[in-house]
Amino acid sequence: MFLKFICCDVFARIACELVAKSPNVVDLEFIPMLAHVEPVDLRNLIQEKINTTTNQLGRRYDAIILGFGICGNAVMGLSGQIPIIIPRAHDCCTLLMGSKEKFLSAFGNTLSSRWCSTGYYERTFGYNSNYQHVEQMDNYKTSPEYIKYLEDYDEETADYLWETLHPKIESHESVYIEIEGQEYSDACKNYKETMDRLGIDLRVVSGDISFLEALVSGDWDESKFLYVPPGKVITGVYDMEEVMRAV
């Protein structure tokens, strides 16, 4: 197959390796991870790249694959003139963990935990001076409950409802997702030093690239990936199984 891969650059190292090894011919294009700070702008940017892809003369892609989850509703309403394949995931944590089940095992009871990975560290505060003015998006902002609030209210009201129903408990733990064969830099070491200075314990969990590998290889099991036919749009379901559907 001939695929266009539009991907968050939090997966940059992994995506480049997978594209190089894929049985498919894959054109890869990255979107900066910090675009997540404004989900509406991120949605517009992804849609623009989808439109550009499908309008390119001489390029007859079989499908567009997206290296994103729901990501704060950023993918809601996306559509294309050719099929779109997207992981059934709420955010990049699921993709870095390798499955929805492993994500729930690691984060199910601690959705507001700080977290990091090599890609996250490199593409945010590790090597990007602009990040010092941007707070990390808490995991709860990609949870089904919070996103449902966004469906009915503005962001300020959604934040108020969440904080009222879920009083903040100061977390003294952060999670680092370590992926064997993908720890090319000192991200884990540097992140641990930062957490130590803040008096926060670091819990290291094992992730894997199998979810992303299946996306790039074309192994699109219906339980893991949503197939969006031409003309259909992505809409949220917000559970932990179907996650999203095409309508």
How much of the chain, in percent, has pLDDT values that exceed 90?
45
How much of the chain, in percent, has pLDDT values that exceed 70?
83
pLDDT for res 238? 81
E-only strand ranges, the chain: 2-8, 25-31, 63-67, 84-87, 114-117, 173-179, 201-207, 225-228, 234-236, 244-246
Residues 6 or more apart whose CB falls under 8 angstroms from that of 211 comprise 87, 89, 94, 95, 97, 98, 99, 224
Q: Does the structure show a pLDDT above 90 at 245?
A: yes
Specify the DSSP class assigned to residue 23.
S
pLDDT for res 97? 92
pLDDT for res 179? 93
24: phi > 0 → left, psi -120 to 50 → alpha, else beta; which?
A: beta
pLDDT for res 130? 47
Tens digits of per-residue pLDDT, 97-140? 999 888 888 877 666 677 889 988 888 765 544 444 334 445 56
pLDDT for res 107? 79
Q: Does the structure show a pLDDT above 80 at 57?
A: no
pLDDT for res 239? 84
**How high does pLDDT run on average in the chain?**
84
The H-or-E segment that residue 148 falls in is helix 144-152
pLDDT for res 14? 95
pLDDT for res 123? 84
Tens digits of per-residue pLDDT, 21-31? 999 999 999 99
pLDDT for res 59? 67
Q: Does the structure show a pLDDT above 90 at 67?
A: yes
Tens digits of per-residue pLDDT, 151-207? 777 777 777 666 665 555 456 788 999 999 888 888 899 888 888 888 888 999 999
Q: Cβ of 134: how many Cβ atoms within 10 Å?
A: 13
What tokens does 187 get? 């991200």
Least confidently predicted of 77-81, 92-96, 237-241: 237-241
pLDDT for res 131? 41
Q: Does the structure show a pLDDT above 90 at 68?
A: yes
